[in-house]
């Protein structure tokens, strides 16, 4: 091989390596641009879904009432806590947050909020609803509401999505929850406690009131009760898809099928206090405290 041929081959190799390097550089730049574009797109999507800018407002009302009081709450989305406060007084406190792609958009969303409290005698009606909000806008607005009531208060709640907790009251209670969680603690029920849920977990703890009826139903979600060991009650509990577990001695019928279970009987002897528990999809637990 001549010297000219060798030099020519070296030049060819250098040219090829240079071309390959250029291609790699272009590819790297392209990948880098794609990554940056992807990150920017992800950030845009994240802002769309979650809302970068929050806007907050508050709501406070108080009402004098006579015993027994009545509280009705209609809440689209958020968290609600109802607890015992001062005698002859209903106090409503709420914090509201809306989220937008800008401060102006977030503030504008707050204008779509209907948050009201009205009084008729000893009946207080609280409404928290969002009007004309685009469901595809992104992160949902939030309402955090705390209401204190006299101990003797009947309660009615209609919740779209979120959580509701009721503690310590003495009064009949009716709760409807589409999606979320329902927590009930230490309630004195004169006649009826009813909870109906779509996709929600129901939790009850505390003693049962004598001669009262408790009715818990859930389309999808577990039902859990924690009761004193000396409780006496009749029970009719069934799940189409899930277990039914009762940590008490039940005199009656207990059946377990391939997908569901049922318990029907009495605990602690004959009693006019009754539990009616139904879950289409979800387990049912009745445990001792």
3-state secondary structure of 48: helix
Do 102 and 204 lie in a common domain?
no
- Of 117, 151, 169, the last residue of a domain is 169
Given 169, 200, 227, the domain boundary residue is 169
pLDDT of residue 5: 47
Distances (CA, A) of 159 to 22, 139, 153, 199: 62, 18, 19, 12
- Residue 47: predicted pLDDT: 43
Same domain, 234 and 288: yes
- Give CA separation, 11 vs 15, 24, 216, 242, in Å: 6, 20, 85, 77
Cα separation of 125 and 64, whole Å?
13
The domain of 161 spans: 52-169
180 and 288 part of one domain: yes
pTM of the model: 0.79
CA torsion 185→189→194→195, rounded to 10°? Answer: -10
Tell me, yes or no, whether 106 and 61 share the same domain: yes
Give yes or no: residues 227 and 213 share one domain.
yes
Query: Same domain for 176 and 289?
Result: yes
Looking at residue 137, its pLDDT comes to: 55
**C-alpha to C-alpha distances, 55 to 79, 105, 142, nearest whole angstrom:** 18, 9, 10
Mean pLDDT in each 10-residue stretch from start to end of the chain (289 residues)? 48 46 44 40 42 84 96 95 97 90 82 90 94 58 93 97 97 97 98 97 97 98 97 97 96 91 95 97 97
């Amino acid at each position: 091989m001549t010297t000219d041929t060798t030099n020519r081959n070296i030049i060819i190799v250098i040219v090829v390596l240079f071309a390959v390097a250029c291609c790699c550089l272009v590819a790297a730049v392209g990948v880098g641009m794609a990554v940056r574009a992807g990150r920017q797109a992800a950030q845009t999507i994240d802002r769309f879904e979650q809302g970068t800018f929050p806007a907050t407002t508050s709501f406070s009302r108080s009402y004098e009432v006579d015993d027994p009081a009545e509280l009705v709450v209609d809440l689209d989305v958020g968290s609600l806590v109802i607890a015992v406060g001062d005698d002859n007084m209903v106090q409503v406190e709420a914090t509201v947050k809306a989220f937008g792609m800008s401060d102006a958009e977030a503030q504008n969303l707050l204008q779509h909020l209907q948050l009201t409290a009205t009084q008729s005698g000893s009946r207080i009606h609280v409404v928290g609803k969002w009007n004309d909000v685009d469901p595809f806008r992104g992160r949902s607005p939030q309402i955090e509401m705390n209401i204190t009531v006299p101990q003797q208060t009947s309660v009615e709640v209609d919740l779209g999505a979120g959580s509701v907790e009721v503690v310590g009251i003495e009064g009949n209670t009716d709760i409807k929850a589409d999606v979320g969680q329902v927590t009930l603690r230490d309630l004195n029920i004169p006649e009826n406690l009813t909870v109906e849920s779509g996709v929600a977990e129901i939790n009850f703890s505390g003693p049962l009131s004598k001669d009262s009826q408790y009715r818990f139903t859930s389309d999808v979600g577990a039902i859990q009760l924690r009761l004193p060991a000396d409780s006496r009650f009749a029970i009719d509990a069934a799940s189409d898809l899930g277990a039914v577990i009762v940590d008490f001695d039940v005199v009656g019928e207990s059946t377990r099928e391939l997908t569901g279970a049922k318990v029907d009987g009495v605990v602690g002897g004959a009693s006019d206090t009754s539990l009616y528990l139904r879950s289409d999809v979800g387990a049912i637990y009745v445990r001792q405290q």
